[in-house]
Amino acid sequence: MDVEEFRSKIKSNIKIFVEDKEYSIKEVVRFRLDDGSYYIKCFLNDGYVFADDANDNSYLLVREVKTEFKPPFPGKLDFDGKELNFLYEAHAIAEDVDGEEIFKKGDAERFWDFKADNYNYLSLGINDTTKERLDFFGRIIASSDVHF
């Protein structure tokens, strides 16, 4: 499913299939980036987080991890035996929330994202208000592997 179709249909309390595995969507958050673009982040069952990437028409499926990395972050990181390269840094504010209040409207986060050649993905984040670390590790998912 391409990202635009996903965005038109996504809501909390429905099922989504990612690589033929079923997940329940507990919360859907629309984050506005400082550059004016946005992305959708879904909090799923079993601690998974699913987010769209309109630029690449792909998705991320990640779970929270604990890391020892401290800002400023280098251009390359080694995590879980994988070498990851820096992609970008961004800041985003939750502007719409549907479902459980895992993330609240108005909450913001800054994150630094890294990618490995094998589609592994690491996002190092910090909540603006609580200063809590929000680090996630997982993989990039092709749009063809996502459906309702």
**Pairwise CA distance, residues 135 & 54, whole Å:** 21
Q: For residue 136, what pLDDT is reported?
A: 98
Q: For residue 14, what pLDDT is reported?
A: 97
Per-residue tens of pLDDT for the chain, all 148 residues: 999 999 999 999 999 999 999 999 999 999 999 999 999 999 999 999 999 999 999 999 999 999 999 999 999 999 999 999 999 999 999 999 999 989 999 999 999 999 999 999 999 999 999 999 999 999 999 999 999 9
Q: For residue 76, what pLDDT is reported?
A: 97
- For 53, the domain range is 3-147
**Pairwise CA distance, residues 14 & 125, whole Å:** 27
Q: For residue 53, what pLDDT is reported?
A: 96
- Count structural domains, the chain: 1
71 preceded by cis ω (within 30°)? Answer: no
Q: What is the pTM of this model?
A: 0.95
CA dihedral for 89, 95, 98, 104, sign (positive or negative): positive
Q: For residue 78, what pLDDT is reported?
A: 97
Q: For residue 114, what pLDDT is reported?
A: 98
Strand segments, DSSP code E, in 1-148 are 15-18, 21-33, 38-44, 48-53, 58-64, 76-79, 82-99, 108-115, 120-127, 136-142, 146-147
Tokens matching residue 12: 């909390």
Q: Which single residue is written with the structure tokens 């970008």?
A: 88
